[in-house]
Every structure is written in C-alpha cells, then in structure tokens.
Amino acid sequence: MKISAPNQLKGTVSSVAEGAVNGIVTIDLGGAAVKASIAMEAIDDLGIKEGVDAYAIIKATSVMFAAGSERIAGISARNQLAGTVESVKKGAVNGHVSLKLADGGTIKGSITNDAIDELGLTEGAAALVIVKSTDVIVGVE
C-alpha cells in the first residue's frame, strides 16, 4: 500500500463498537491504542473484527500537539498519545514535527512554526499527539 499519509501505524484490532451508521474501531499498537470512527459499511467490507491486523492511517495535517505528556481532560478528541519529540523541521510558515511513541512508533504532524515555538517542541521534549477519531482511516492488507 502506497499512500501520501505519513502515519501508517500497524496494530491489531482490539475492539469494534458497532453502531447504526458508524462504528468505533480500536487498534492496539502494542503500548498505545488508536480509535477510528468509520462507517459500518467499511467495517463489513474490510472484514474488520477483533484480532485482525490493521493500520491506523493519519494525515500529518490532522495531527495536533500539546506540550508535556499528561492527557488532556475535557476534550472530545479520543486519541491522545504521549511521546518524545524526535525531530523538528521548520519551513517558511509551517513545520513538521516527529514524535517517538513509547512503543517505538513515530507520528508526524504538520503545524505552524509559531505553534512549534509556543509549545516548546524541540528535540527531546515531552509532547502529546491529539487526533480526532473521525480523522483516522483504517486500512487492512
């Protein structure tokens, strides 16, 4: 599978909460979990069920960052993954931040240079990645 989204996190489906139209698929990454809200039709078509290997696919522009590693209470985004900033590459206005997760996986996000500076996102800093479940695409091979 070749796609432009830089975040293709492989794991195992640990649960599927079925709804009338959409379901919530939880993918265990081996230390962290990612929740995806996808159509029940897609869940059926892809054969997604507990125990199936799957990818959580996330565009870099769908990734938000917070300073520190403490989960944020009172926020609707279902996915909050803690890690350490691995690299920061600034462009003219936006930059790319790579966060190394505890399980060794990496998540990349694209945010403004101002946000990078204001959050203190430098190599080695603790940070939190935040992604809405509706921004996670599920893929299977």
* Cβ contact 103:54 at 8 Å: no
Same domain, 70 and 125: yes
- Nearest CA among 109, 81, 82 for reference residue 95: 109
Instruction: Render pLDDT for 60-111 as a digit per residue (tens, 0 to 9).
Output: 999 999 999 999 999 999 999 999 999 999 999 999 999 999 888 999 999 9
How many folded domains does the chain comprise?
2
Find residue 47's DSSP bridge partners.
Answer: none
The domain containing residue 89 runs over which residues?
60-131
- How confident is the prediction for the chain on average, in pLDDT? 96
Is there a domain that residue 117 lies in? Answer: yes
* Cβ contact 47:140 at 8 Å: yes
Q: Are strands 137-139 and 53-58 parallel, antiparallel or unpaired?
A: antiparallel
